[in-house]
Structure 1
Amino acid sequence: MPTIRRLLTEQDFQEALDRQLRIRVFRNDHMVDNNTLIIRFTDETVITQTGVSELTYHSRRDSQFFELKK
C-alpha cells in the first residue's frame, strides 16, 4: 500500500518535478489523475503527463495533489 503525502508548497511541487515522483490528483473529492508525473507548474496550473501524448492541465486552486511513495 503506498504512502501518500499532500503537495502544498512550491518546494513540494519542485521536489516532485525534480525527482519525477508519481502523484495522484483529486478534484471535488474524486480522483481525476493517478500515477502521473508533474512536467511543469505555475502559480495557477500544474501540468501532468501520464503517457507519451497524455497531458493534463490541473488548476491548483480547484485540485489537491498527493505524492505516492511505495
Structure 2
Amino acid sequence: MAINRRLQTDADFAEAKERQLAVRVFKDDHMIDSGGVILRFDNQTVVIQSGVGDLAYHPRPDCEFFELKKR
C-alpha cells in the first residue's frame, strides 16, 4: 500500500527530486499525471518525466503535488 505526502515547500520538492520518488499531480480534484519523477521546479512550473521522451510541465500554483511512497 502506498502513502501519499503532499509537496508544498521548495524543500519538499527538492527531496522528492533528489530521491527520485514517484509523484501524482492533481488539478481541480482530478488526477492528471501519475508515476513520473520531478526533473526541475521553480515557483511557477514543475517539470515531470514519466518516460524517455515524456515530459509534462505543470503550473505549480494551479496543481497539487503528492509524493508516492511505498510502505
Tell me whether the two structures share a fold, i.e. TM-score over 0.5: yes
Identity %: 54
CA RMSD of aligned residues (A): 0.5
Secondary structure at the residue paired with 1:37?
strand
Partner in structure 1 of residue 41 of structure 2: 41
Partner in structure 2 of residue 66 of structure 1: 66
Gaps of 5+ in 2: none
Aligned residues: 70
In the alignment, the residues of structure 2 paired with residue 19 and residue 33 of structure 1 have an alpha-carbon distance, to the nearest angstrom, of 19
Taking structure 1 as the reference length, the TM-score comes to: 0.98
User: Structure 1 runs of 4+ off > 2 angstroms?
Assistant: none
Taking structure 2 as the reference length, the TM-score comes to: 0.96
Gaps of 5+ in 1: none
Partner in structure 1 of residue 7 of structure 2: 7
Partner in structure 2 of residue 27 of structure 1: 27
In the alignment, the residues of structure 2 paired with residue 35 and residue 56 of structure 1 have an alpha-carbon distance, to the nearest angstrom, of 12
Shift of 1:8: 0.2
